[in-house]
């Protein structure tokens, strides 16, 4: 029976990258994935163009862009493998890319370019990849001449064994492309702690009559200020918002969703670039138009109509609207407080918050307290903001792990 230097379970961003680096440094690496189509999450990311990193990532202060019970855990890996390091690799493979905004880098052509690059790196390292191969059981047996246990994996394609098992199986988000809880089950099997999981970077939903006036706005997008939390825990983003039939989406909502907790409100400024009280008072003094028409010059017309239609006091010329109603409207649009009834869940979530507790994993090597068992990427309790941060965590944690594997093998 062949014994591999490293077996990596999960052929996504972290798994493939770790395999390529370790293979090219001389290790015999096997990658196993239960899906018949590997790297599917890369394939659909960034609208099919893969937002593969973010130039603005500050490795000295990762808590700016990452959520974790220990937000400093990811600093070591992120500082040792930076966005520029990955950009260099992308350029080496001749992949054209562009920056959208706020440091977000996307492929010009297709996410397939990144997948081909990772597979080429694996091929250069002699990595073997087995897809449509679900790991049925994992056992740790004591190796006769080694302090590390030997991991024995039962699969439909035969028994596999290794002294270094890397779990790169991602999270629970987007189950239709093969997401599973396998990584969490393995962590539990070996006595590692887990942080509660929940959907992140996910659209928020609203039910009932209170949402009825806004359901008709589905498809409307606009820049907003959005926040949740109180005082020192308050998080604020200036991003675009998208109304949907069931609630709210768009980059701003996806960002805030990772900080939102069920039963708590979010607050929206629907006209962040406009001093609404001042502009509406000006309209009252000079305009003979309907207030709705004046408001439509400050916010999208569909939004103006939805708001004005709810209050008869606003359905008149701007000059005739009472000051109290005008001030109430300005306040409502500048600080709309509403409580989501839920989210679209894992089926629409881009990431999974929580995961393997960082207290049980080395920030230097990604090795867990269980010797020879490593965790990289999304399966760990490290979640980045929207905009390429989660991919950079995948690359950085994979690189830290591969370096540790090489060093350990050399001992």
**What domains does the chain contain, in order, with CATH numbers?**
3-198+349-410 (3.50.50.60), 204-343 (2.40.30.10)
Task: Determine what percent of the chain is predicted with pLDDT higher than 70.
Answer: 99
Between the CA atoms of 304, 340, 219 and 271, what dihedral angle is there, to the nearest 10 degrees?
Answer: 40
On the question of pLDDT at 1 being above 80, the answer is no
Per-residue pLDDT, 411: 83
Report, as an integer, the average pLDDT of 387-400. Answer: 98
Per-residue pLDDT, 253: 98
Report the run of H or E that residue 326 belongs to, with start and end: helix 323-334
Q: What's the pLDDT tens digit per position in 47-103?
A: 999 999 999 999 889 889 999 999 999 999 999 999 999 999 999 999 999 999 999
Q: Which residue in the block uniquely carries the two structure tokens 């069931």?
A: 246
On the question of pLDDT at 362 being above 90, the answer is yes
d(CA 306, CA 138) in angstroms, rounded, equals 57
Per-residue pLDDT, 208: 79
Per-residue pLDDT, 148: 81
Per-residue pLDDT, 307: 94
d(CA 335, CA 258) in angstroms, rounded, equals 20
Q: What's the pLDDT tens digit per position in 290-335?
A: 999 999 999 999 999 999 999 999 999 999 999 999 999 999 999 9
d(CA 98, CA 84) in angstroms, rounded, equals 14
d(CA 394, CA 97) in angstroms, rounded, equals 19
* Exposed/middle/buried for residue 410 (C-beta within 10 Å: 0-12, 13-18, 19+): exposed
Per-residue pLDDT, 291: 96
Per-residue pLDDT, 144: 59
On the question of pLDDT at 352 being above 90, the answer is yes
Q: With the C-alpha atoms ordered 158, 161, 166, 171, is the resulting torsion angle positive or negative? A: positive
Sheet architecture: strand order including 165-167:
128-130, 29-32, 6-9, 165-167, 373-375
Q: Which residue in the block uniquely carries the two structure tokens 């659209």?
A: 203
Report, as an integer, the average pLDDT of 161-173. Answer: 97
Q: Where are the alpha helices (DSSP H) in 275-370?
A: 276-286, 291-295, 301-308, 323-334
Q: How far apart are the first and last CA of the chain?
A: 24
* Beta strands 29-32 and 128-130, pairing class: parallel
Task: Determine what percent of the chain is predicted with pLDDT higher than 90.
Answer: 93
On the question of pLDDT at 143 being above 70, the answer is no
Report, as an integer, the average pLDDT of 255-271. Answer: 97
On the question of pLDDT at 2 being above 90, the answer is no
Q: What's the pLDDT tens digit per position in 281-299?
A: 999 999 999 999 999 999 9
d(CA 393, CA 13) in angstroms, rounded, equals 10
Per-residue pLDDT, 146: 62
């Amino acid at each position: 029976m062949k014994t591999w230097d490293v077996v990596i379970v999960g052929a996504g961003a972290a798994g493939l990258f770790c395999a390529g680096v370790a293979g090219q440094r001389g290790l015999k690496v096997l990658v196993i994935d239960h899906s018949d189509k590997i790297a599917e999450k890369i394939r659909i990311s960034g609208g099919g163009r893969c937002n593969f990193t973010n130039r603005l990532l500050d490795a000295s202060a990762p808590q700016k862009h990452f959520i974790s019970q220990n937000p400093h855990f990811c600093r070591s890996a992120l500082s040792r493998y930076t966005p520029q390091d990955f950009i260099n690799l992308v350029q080496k493979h001749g992949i054209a890319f562009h920056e959208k905004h706020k440091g977000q880098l996307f492929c010009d052509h297709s996410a397939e370019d990144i997948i081909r690059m990772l597979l080429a790196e694996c091929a250069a390292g002699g990595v073997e990849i087995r897809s449509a191969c679900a790991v049925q059981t994992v056992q740790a047996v004591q190796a006769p001449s080694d302090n590390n246990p030997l991991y024995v994996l039962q699969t439909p394609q035969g028994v596999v064994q290794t002294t270094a098992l890397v779990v790169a199986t991602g999270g629970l988000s987007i189950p239709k492309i093969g997401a599973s809880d396998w990584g969490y089950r393995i962590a539990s099997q070996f006595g590692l702690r887990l942080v509660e999981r929940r959907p992140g970077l996910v659209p928020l939903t609203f039910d009932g009559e209170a949402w009825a006036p806004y359901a008709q706005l589905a498809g409307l997008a606009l820049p907003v200020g959005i926040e949740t939390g109180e005082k020192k825990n308050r998080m604020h983003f200036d991003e675009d918002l998208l109304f949907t039939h069931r609630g709210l989406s768009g980059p701003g909502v996806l960002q805030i969703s990772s900080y939102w907790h069920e039963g708590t409100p979010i607050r929206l400024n629907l006209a962040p670039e406009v001093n609404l009280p001042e502009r509406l008072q000006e309209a009252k003094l000079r305009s003979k138009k309907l207030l709705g028409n004046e408001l439509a010059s400050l916010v999208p017309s569909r939004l103006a109509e939805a708001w004005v239609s709810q209050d008869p006091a606003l359905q008149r010329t701007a000059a005739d609207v009472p000051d109290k109603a005008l001030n109430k409207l300005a306040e409502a649009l500048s600080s709309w407080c509403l409580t989501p009834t839920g989210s679209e869940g894992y089926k629409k979530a881009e990431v999974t918050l929580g995961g393997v507790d960082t207290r049980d994993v080395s920030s230097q090597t990604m090795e867990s307290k269980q010797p020879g068992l490593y965790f990289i990427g999304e399966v760990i309790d490290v979640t980045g903001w929207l905009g390429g941060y989660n991919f950079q965590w995948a690359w950085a944690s994979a690189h830290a792990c591969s370096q540790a594997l090489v060093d350990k093998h050399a001992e």
